[in-house]
Amino acid sequence: MARPAVVLLSGGLDSTTTLAIARSLGYECHALSFEYGQRHERELASARRVAAALGAARHLTLRIDLGAIGGSALTADIPVPKGRSAEDIAHGVPVTYVPARNTIFLSHALAWAEVLGAADIFIGVNVLDASGYPDCRPEYIAAFEHLANLATRAGVEGRSRFRVHAPLIDLGKAGIIRRGLELGVDFALTWSCYAPEPDGRACGLCDACQLRKKGFAEAGLPDPGSGFAI
C-alpha cells in the first residue's frame, strides 16, 4: 500500500512540482492548502485544479485568518511591490513575507500527518525563496523536522519518525520548471501572481510574476500562463 504523505499546496509552480515529485516517489498524497486571508483567492482555485490533476487522495483547504494579524503585503492593506530589480528581489526580507507563515502551515501539516499516520511532509521551499524568507532556509526545515518529532505523540511513542522533505531546496525557478515538466505537470493550471489585475490577469510586475517569467525564460520555454478563467 502506498505510504501517505501530506503535501503543502499553494497552487504555484513550486508546490505543484513538489506534489508531482511526491507522487512520483509513490506516496499517496494528501494536499493541504490555506485560505489565510491572502489578497486574492485565485491561487486556491489553482490549488484545487492541481490537486485533482495530480491525483491527490484528498485536498483540504483550511481557513486561518492571518489577515486579522496583518503585517504583510499579502495579508494587510500594504501595497505589493512591483517592478523591483532582480538585485532587490534577491536581497533582504520583502514586505510580502507573511510572519511565521511556514511554521503555521507546517504545524497544520504535522497535525494532519499525525492523524493520517503519515511520517512524511512535503514543502516546496527553494533556494530563491531562501534568499529572502527566513522560514525557507534548509536549517529552518531541519529545525522543524526536529520539532515535529518532539512535539507529537506519534514522535515520542516512536510510531513515526517525521521527515520534512524540501525536494526543491537546491533548485532555481528554471530547474523547478524543468523538473515539473519531466513529471508531466501542466503549468497552465498554476498561479503565481501576488496581486492580480481587476480583470483577473496576472500583473506581470510583482516579485512572483517576475521570478516566474525569468524561470521560463531561463528554461527556454514559453509560459503556458493560466489556462482558465476564474
What is the contact surface with Zn ion in residues (CB under 5 A)? 193, 203, 206, 209
- Is the Cα dihedral 12, 65, 125, 120 positive or negative? negative
Strand 28-35 vs strand 120-122: parallel, antiparallel, or unpaired?
A: unpaired
Q: 47 vs 206, which CB is nearer to Zn ion?
A: 206
- For the CB of residue 199, give the shortest distance to Zn ion in the complex, in Å: 13
- For the CB of residue 193, give the shortest distance to Zn ion in the complex, in Å: 3
The single-letter DSSP state of residue 164 is E
Nearest-angstrom CA–CA distance, 163 and 118? 10
Q: 29 vs 209, which CB is nearer to Zn ion?
A: 209
- For the CB of residue 202, give the shortest distance to Zn ion in the complex, in Å: 5
Q: 118 vs 206, which CB is nearer to Zn ion?
A: 206
- For the CB of residue 11, give the shortest distance to Zn ion in the complex, in Å: 14
Q: What is the largest CA-CA distance in the chain?
A: 52
Nearest-angstrom CA–CA distance, 38 and 98? 10
Q: 162 vs 191, which CB is nearer to Zn ion?
A: 191
**C-alpha closest to that of 29 among 52, 61, 63:** 52
- For the CB of residue 209, give the shortest distance to Zn ion in the complex, in Å: 3
- For the CB of residue 212, give the shortest distance to Zn ion in the complex, in Å: 8
Q: 127 vs 203, which CB is nearer to Zn ion?
A: 203
Sequence-distant (6+) residues with CB within 8 A of 81 are 73, 94, 95, 96, 206, 207
Nearest-angstrom CA–CA distance, 89 and 92? 8
Nearest-angstrom CA–CA distance, 179 and 21? 8
Nearest-angstrom CA–CA distance, 11 and 191? 6
Name the amino acid, one letter, at 135: D
Q: 81 vs 104, which CB is nearer to Zn ion?
A: 81
